[in-house]
Amino acid sequence: MANHVKLAKGNADRPARKRATSYDVAELAGVSQSAVSRVFQAGASASKDMRDRVLSAANKLGYRPNAIARGLITQRSNMVAVVISRQTNLYYPEVLVQLTQRFSEHGIRVLLFTLEHERDIDGVIEQVLQYQVDGVITAAILNDAQLDTVENAGIPVIFYNRTLPERLVNSVRCDQEEGERWLVSQLAAAGHKRFAIVSGPDDSSVSMERTQGALQKLRELSIADVLIVSGDYGYASGRAAFSEIMQRMGGVPDAVIAANDVMAIGCVDEARETNYLRVPEDVSIVGFDGVGPARYAAYDLSTVRQPVGRMSEAAVSMLIERIESPGLSPEKRVFSGDRIIGGSALLADSNS
């Protein structure tokens, strides 16, 4: 009654080691290899009889065209690289799913590259090029030399939520500045005077844009005295930041502008739990992103939501266009964020 280790149910007798090739199928079907190839193509020219014989043979052998070999001859791997930094993924997990889903509708697969920090990108570029991807979507900034490297290889690049202002590149992003300016103007119009900003990590261009956008608008409104403390986009750093603000200001700020929702939530908790403050009566707190937890009843953040669905759709279609027509000129698409008025801040429009 001793059994073999390997148990194969449907096709117990097949050797299973070597994959069937188009030659195997051709032989079994009694046709040429080119014929097999044609049957598995879109605009093929094959008689019904031929088609049937090939397909049944293929089925019997479990044949599947080898996409790698195809890529070699057609010079199209049908793979695109998606480069994300840790942050992108953590705070917008749905972006990846959306990108992958949309690409797959076009017969394109996603090769994923992740960066612990945005600076680690050099090695990644090397890999991306070796794998002959047809295009790249990057949520990490490339410098001039890096971008040159990729473009000289003839690979189109789309920047996701970042851009190189000095250069002709393709990019899709959310208007962080506009969003922050709106938040600031709303807060100011509601009478807030003492502001604090919680910025993100130093190597995050998104955080830079948000912080600068807010600062700029504050300056325009002649609000000069602004305290900036920095966090790492995480909850704990939001709590620590609020604590630091209280200490360095020697009191309660009127409004706190956090570079993302998670830190804003941290600020809210620290204000309530540690300092026994009421939000928004004692202090207004706003975030940015519009992530899920921002809508939880306990926080109900006033924030700006990135239209991630439209952004990822735009990125995919821009990239596919450029894969199909390599000559297309660069395009920058900027989406306004959705303005969300929640209960975490007293805004001018709060009671409208």
Size of the site for DNA (CB under 7 A): 29
Closer residue to DNA, CB minimum distance, 34 or 275 = 34
The option from a second copy, DNA, none interacting with 7 (CB < 5 to 8 A, set by class) reads a second copy
CA-to-CA distance for 350 and 352, rounded, in angstroms? Answer: 6
Dihedrals phi, psi of 333, to nearest 5 degrees: -110, 125
The option from a second copy, DNA, none interacting with 35 (CB < 5 to 8 A, set by class) reads DNA
Output the six-digit token pair for 16.
């299973």
298-325: burial string, b at 16+ Cβ within 10 Å, e else: ebbbbbbbbebeebbebbbebbbebbee
Binding site for a second copy (CB under 8 A): 5, 7-11, 14, 16-17, 19, 62, 64-69, 71-72, 77, 79, 82, 84, 86, 89-90, 93-94, 96-97, 100-101, 104, 109-114, 116, 126-127, 129-132, 144-145, 148-149, 151-154, 168, 235, 262, 265, 268-269, 272-273, 292-293, 295-299, 329
* Beta strands 135-138 and 109-115, pairing class: unpaired
Amino acid at 57: A
The option from DNA, a second copy, none interacting with 249 (CB < 5 to 8 A, set by class) reads none
Residue 41 within binding range of DNA, rule CB under 7 A: yes
Residue 33 within binding range of DNA, rule CB under 7 A: yes
Residue 16 within binding range of DNA, rule CB under 7 A: no
Closer residue to DNA, CB minimum distance, 67 or 236 = 67
Residue 12 within binding range of DNA, rule CB under 7 A: no
Whether 138 contacts 319, CB under 8 Å: no
Find the shortest distance in angstroms from Cβ 63 to DNA: 7
Burial class (CB in 10 A: 0-12, 13-18, 19+), 164: middle
Closer residue to a second copy, CB minimum distance, 4 or 48 = 4
Residue 40 within binding range of DNA, rule CB under 7 A: yes
- Looking up tokens 């047809």 gives 134
Closer residue to a second copy, CB minimum distance, 268 or 283 = 268
Find the shortest distance in angstroms from Cβ 153 to DNA: 12
Closer residue to a second copy, CB minimum distance, 169 or 320 = 169
CA-to-CA distance for 186 and 106, rounded, in angstroms? Answer: 43
Among the listed ranges 57-65, 134-142, 194-202, 302-310, the one in contact with DNA (CB under 7 A) is 57-65
What dihedral do alpha carbons 160, 199, 201, 299 form, nearest 10°?
-80
The option from a second copy, DNA, none interacting with 33 (CB < 5 to 8 A, set by class) reads DNA
Other CB atoms within 10 Å distance of the CB of residue 109? 14
Find the shortest distance in angstroms from Cβ 172 to a second copy: 19
Residue 37 within binding range of DNA, rule CB under 7 A: yes
Find all residues with CB under 8 Å of 32, minimum gap 6, and list them: 26
Residue 45 within binding range of DNA, rule CB under 7 A: yes
Closer residue to DNA, CB minimum distance, 38 or 106 = 38
Find all residues with CB under 8 Å of 71, minimum gap 6, and list them: 77, 78, 79, 132
Q: Chain centroid to CA 8: how far?
A: 40
Closer residue to a second copy, CB minimum distance, 47 or 329 = 329
CA-to-CA distance for 212 and 176, rounded, in angstroms? Answer: 9
Dihedrals phi, psi of 190, to nearest 5 degrees: -85, 0
The option from a second copy, DNA, none interacting with 49 (CB < 5 to 8 A, set by class) reads DNA
Binding mask 65-104 for DNA (x = CB under 7 A): xx--xx-xxxx-----------------------------
CA-to-CA distance for 251 and 271, rounded, in angstroms? Answer: 12
Closer residue to DNA, CB minimum distance, 25 or 346 = 25
